[in-house]
Copies of this chain bind each other. A is one copy, B any other.
Amino acid sequence: MDVKTVCLGMLSDGPATGYDLKKQFESSFAHFFAAGFGSIYPALSSLAEQELVDCERVPQDGKPDRKVYEITKAGREFLGRALENSSPAHKVRSEFLATVCFSHLMSREQCDSIVDHRLQDLEQILNTLRQAESNCLDDMQPGMRFVVGVGRAVSEAMMKYVEENRHLLVTESK
């Protein structure tokens, strides 16, 4: 499942612009599926070309036209098939953990710094998720609610473990 399919999925919930989708990626999707404009805009163009979405241009003054995308019937069918064939991969790529593996080659300051950083990032993710829960729990689909819950559970677990065990990290004796 690539950015394109996720965009199509988001559009199945109602029309939106690329800019809108970006915000959705940044809020409830941030903890498990990142996407920048450089992925989103080409994805939407490609979707439109395949007629899986319609695009309505809304002129504005001083800004580029808003391009409001809406899923088509063909789009819904395509999405259905994509969901059927989706392989449920879940990949983590953690430079944080990769670095910590070699904490015995680092200075205490360096090690503390990256652990603190990670803790801050986790705090931020949790804030974002809590915000999403309090702002729009009602207009979230059950799947989305579940996904936000997973994010909370996993982030809290990581935070707790890191806080309780960081003292075990031995650093270079120099």
Contact = CB atoms under 8 A, between A and B. Distances in A.
Interface stretch (A38-46, A58-66, A144-152): A144-152
Interface in A91-146: 91-106, 110, 114, 117-118, 121, 141-146
Given A142-B168, A153-B158, A157-B156, A33 B98 contact: yes
A12 interface: yes
A37 interface: no
A57 interface: no
A154 B158 contact: yes
Interface string A144-174: 1111011001101110111001101110000
Contacts of A86: 95, 98-99, 114
Nearest to A120: B88
Interface in A1-17: 1, 5-6, 9, 12
A91 B93 contact: yes
Contact of A153 (B83, B96, B160): B160
B90 A118 contact: yes
B156 A169 contact: no
10 contacts: A12-B105, A31-B92, A32-B94, A90-B121, A100-B143, A101-B144, A102-B143, A103-B142, A142-B169, A157-B157
